[in-house]
Amino acid sequence: MPHDWLVGPSRSDSARERLYTIAGELIAERGVDHFDINELAARAHCSRATIYRHTGGKKQLVEAVFIGTSTRITDTVRHAVADTTGLDRARTAFTVALREIRADPIARRFPQSRNVIEGARIAVRSSAVSAIAAELIGLNPTDTSLTALAVRSFLALLLWPPADRTDEPPLIDTLATGLLAAQGHTDRTVSTTEAAHR
């Protein structure tokens, strides 16, 4: 058995981060469906037991890698939309998020997974994903129907992009315009309803 460099109480956090990093490299190389704990153990020079002790197992590792990658991409989009509003913000959010996911060696592997449809269903139902979408696009986070539509539309562009990528910007423009128009309609309806109750 190889020397298990990850053992030791003071190394727990750094060990976990190192395992996440190596797991991300393997996912980038092989894809989510071919990620293997034995290969991770060999590359990390540790035992399977150490991996399970520090990370909980394969599912937890994949989730942690996904969360880390998603956080980096979200921060990039957040930075890109920081000084924008309205249609420019919505367009930028969609464009930058799609570009970053497609360019990231780990993130681009998740849509290729055989479990992508189930993953998309989870994303659509996630209040956290909806809240992030609302923030980045500039939507009212309490309008759950509109944020769900935004998430579903984004996933459609990610999973089924147009054959000709030059067709994507007009699709994004139409989507952003429609979402903001619907929000304006919803906001006016809420304001009118609130005024009527006063």
Q: Give the type of residue at 105.
A: P
pLDDT for residue 115: 86
Look at residue 1 in the predicted model and tell me its pLDDT.
47
Contact 87, 75 (CB under 8 A): no
> What pLDDT is recorded for position 95?
98
Query: Can you give the pLDDT at residue 11?
Result: 66
Extents of the domains making up the chain: 9-56, 65-196
pLDDT score of 111? 86
At 182 the pLDDT is 94
3-state secondary structure of 5: coil
Q: Which residues have CB under 8 Å from 113's CB, separation 6+?
A: 31, 32, 33, 119
pTM of structure: 0.81
Burial class (CB in 10 A: 0-12, 13-18, 19+), 110: buried
Tens digit of each residue's pLDDT (9 = 90 or more) over 174-194: 999 999 999 985 554 444 444
CA distance 76 to 96: 8
Q: Is 105 helix (H, G, I), strand (E, B) or coil?
A: coil
Please report, in tens digits, the pLDDT of each residue of the chain (198 residues total). Answer: 455 545 555 567 788 899 999 999 999 999 889 999 999 999 999 999 999 999 988 889 988 999 999 999 999 999 999 999 999 999 999 999 999 999 999 999 988 888 888 888 888 888 999 999 999 999 999 999 999 999 999 999 999 999 999 999 999 999 999 999 999 855 544 444 444 445
- Structural domain 9-56, CATH architecture: Orthogonal Bundle (1.10)
Question: What is the crossing angle of helices 144-159 and 86-103, to 10°?
Answer: 40
